[in-house]
Structure 1
């Protein structure tokens, strides 16, 4: 059997999957390593095992051992990788040649929480499968083509020409969800849809006729919603103030990417499950801030789209945390968003009762990656 391996490295997890190489790739097996750097666990086939994964490199090694039985003695023809930042140049999946990898390494300052882990996974896969084609799929590609007003900042135009613009992220997830809507809900897909990708990283994307019109993330993966360890939207004046107080770029990077968000606000954890179960006041305050930002951005995105026909939740939090979904749409009945309590508690697919649909659709970035790698092979 010739197989396609996908590696999807996030800020605190790595998802992996093995597919057959075929016209339509079929899933052979999948799993993930989560809570990297903490109490890491390897999840495969419904089982969860504690492992030593103090960093992403250790997690990749554990994955390579795990997939051997899935291959059944076959060869890996291609390894597909999620690459968070493709910059202004990479708008479609491509083979990760040395020149391409050098360019992507130059984008590390734009995505320091993800890009190094993405590229480390490529190096590990090259060593493990030297004859396989390494394919990169870019989170930023889905958002290319935005109108200038949704793509720029209020800086002198020369900065835009130099690449300081709103790239957007989570594009593989949005690509998958938009494809599901086209297949199952073509009328809805042709309308105005807001997708809420809520995980350790979180963002919204507003689509019209299946195309990205605007997204809450921008130049980096810091903007917009509050996240597990990232601050989300922040007044640039705060950054200037902290610089004036003596914080250097490394300290600011660590503060904004790794110490802020839900972890910083609660002082407890970046994990939404832990915060929802906590009775500590700081956890409740962190959740209130998360919900307030989410609700505000949904309203803003609806204004950008000129209305809303559907709100779709996906990602680890979006797919599983009914309490977050319910609180997110409180007070948004004026947009036609009203929740069906029992359906929401059951994590049903259709959980709305208002004029605008509310859906829960599990995302599958790995399948998007596998299809792209397969297409390059064939």
Structure 2
């Protein structure tokens, strides 16, 4: 019998999964269901031995149906696997959750109340939790938080310049992409220990994008704030914006809060700047001047915020790129680095994102701690 951990990373129209051995965290199976809620959803899955399957899912299926397909794939290839836990990526942990946590009904309700702070992510993360509860019964569901890596920030970093009565109601900076940054820090510790001990700006650049100042393996500052809307421009999100612009939309333009939310979360960023696409590969291939403008704007803002992260640490020893754009868009990396030449020499690394492995590590540690406590 092989003890395993199922890791789920749920998006608005996707469900990624990996099955890890509990002892050595080797990957037994992995896959991704895509186009959930659309007409032709599919799931691609594979085993460690190279076996691959593509499964057509029901039209307009939800996360519950996708998880059923994941479990059916696991059942077809189960080689004495015993699932000990399901680990879930949860984007927002608020002020209460700064470490991996078993999801009880009370925890689930508390995380649901945080959904307005991460409307593109939290509801879908929790939909996967609800599906796992229905389909897997008493197996523990463990929340792994994107905000947790930044929980060590001091008041100079996590406060906004607001009156105390508002700050006391949880209006503060939390930061996100923490699972990705924790993975970067763990890889640096293993492969580049000198750099890990120094001052690193990590750039998680994808459809969601942010930067993190990491000193000695710990988060010092990050570009995202109370929500995953702040900081860098992203695929469809605006990034940092004068709050007065939102007031103008509401008061002078007569937009509803729902219209403003849709504009800032869904029609801004690279899509809004280019008028073409939020996909960097598409923009790089386009000869439209607006595509070039969007990419130049993105590179400039990444460089400006990277300099701010360096200032938070008193300098920079290395810059690490990760995420889909960070790993695969070499022209974008080059444009960012050209704008940072004034900082002098620093090491540059590209590290492939692996949030699922960090989640498996966190879940395994929590299970081991629970085992010791009950011994």
Query: With structure 1 as the length reference, what TM-score do the two structures score?
Result: 0.89
In structure 2, do the counterparts of structure 1 residues 370 and 51 end up closer, same or farther at CA, with 3 Å as the change threshold? same
Q: Identify the residue that residue 373 of structure 2 maps to in structure 1.
A: none
Q: State the shift of 1:160 in Å.
A: 1.6
Give SS of 1:330's match: helix
Give SS of 1:282's match: helix
In structure 2, do the counterparts of structure 1 residues 188 and 328 end up closer, same or farther at CA, with 3 Å as the change threshold? same
Specify which of 207, 214, 230 is matched with residue 221 of structure 2. 214
Q: Identify the residue that residue 348 of structure 1 maps to in structure 2.
A: none
Where in structure 2 are the equivalents of 1:41-120 lying within 5 Å? 42-45=43-46, 57=63, 59-72=66-79, 74-120=81-127
CA distance in 1, matches of 2:295, 2:338: 14
Query: With structure 2 as the length reference, what TM-score do the two structures score?
Result: 0.89
Q: State the shift of 1:68 in Å.
A: 3.4
Give SS of 2:204's match: strand
Q: Identify the residue that residue 178 of structure 1 maps to in structure 2.
A: 185
CA distance in 2, matches of 1:275, 1:229: 14
- What per-residue deviation string (whole Å, max 9, x for no partner) do you get for residues 314-345 of structure 1? 11111111111111111322213xxxxxxxxx
Q: State the shift of 1:375 in Å.
A: 2.0
Query: Does the aligned pair in 1 maintain the 2:300–2:339 contact within 8 Å?
Result: no
CA distance in 1, matches of 2:62, 2:199: 37
- What per-residue deviation string (whole Å, max 9, x for no partner) do you get for residues 127-159 of structure 1? 221131100011111101212121111110222
In structure 2, do the counterparts of structure 1 residues 136 and 277 end up closer, same or farther at CA, with 3 Å as the change threshold? same
Give SS of 1:89's match: coil
In structure 2, do the counterparts of structure 1 residues 11 and 209 end up closer, same or farther at CA, with 3 Å as the change threshold? farther
- What per-residue deviation string (whole Å, max 9, x for no partner) do you get for residues 227-282 of structure 1? 11111111111100001122122222211111211222222222222222222232
Query: Does the aligned pair in 2 maintain the 1:143–1:213 contact within 8 Å?
Result: yes
RMSD after superposition: 2.2
Structure 2 gap segments, 5+ residues each: 369-375
Q: Which moved more, 1:367-376 or 1:102-111?
A: 367-376
Q: State the shift of 1:93 in Å.
A: 0.2
Give SS of 2:236's match: coil
Give SS of 2:153's match: coil
Q: Identify the residue that residue 227 of structure 1 maps to in structure 2.
A: 234
Give SS of 2:339's match: coil
Specify which of 335, 338, 356 is matched with residue 330 of structure 1. 338
Q: State the shift of 1:56 in Å.
A: 5.6
Q: Identify the residue that residue 373 of structure 1 maps to in structure 2.
A: 363
Q: Which moved more, 1:207-216 or 1:299-308?
A: 299-308
In structure 2, do the counterparts of structure 1 residues 248 and 62 end up closer, same or farther at CA, with 3 Å as the change threshold? farther
Is 1:362 matched with 2:369? no
CA distance in 2, matches of 1:274, 1:43: 24
Structure 1 gap segments, 5+ residues each: 337-354
Specify which of 301, 307, 321 is matched with residue 313 of structure 1. 321
Query: Does the aligned pair in 1 maintain the 2:233–2:239 contact within 8 Å?
Result: yes
Query: Does the aligned pair in 2 maintain the 1:18–1:70 contact within 8 Å?
Result: no
In structure 2, do the counterparts of structure 1 residues 271 and 154 end up closer, same or farther at CA, with 3 Å as the change threshold? same
Query: Does the aligned pair in 2 maintain the 1:208–1:305 contact within 8 Å?
Result: yes
Query: Does the aligned pair in 1 maintain the 2:68–2:135 contact within 8 Å?
Result: no
Query: Does the aligned pair in 2 maintain the 1:41–1:50 contact within 8 Å?
Result: yes
Q: Which moved more, 1:125-134 or 1:8-17?
A: 8-17
Q: Identify the residue that residue 28 of structure 1 maps to in structure 2.
A: 28
- What per-residue deviation string (whole Å, max 9, x for no partner) do you get for residues 96-149 of structure 1? 000000000000000000000000010111122113110001111110121212
In structure 2, do the counterparts of structure 1 residues 281 and 153 end up closer, same or farther at CA, with 3 Å as the change threshold? same
In structure 2, do the counterparts of structure 1 residues 261 and 236 end up closer, same or farther at CA, with 3 Å as the change threshold? same
CA distance in 1, matches of 2:106, 2:125: 16
CA distance in 2, matches of 1:233, 1:99: 33
Query: Does the aligned pair in 2 maintain the 1:194–1:298 contact within 8 Å?
Result: yes
Give SS of 1:6's match: strand
Specify which of 258, 261, 278 is matched with residue 286 of structure 2. 278
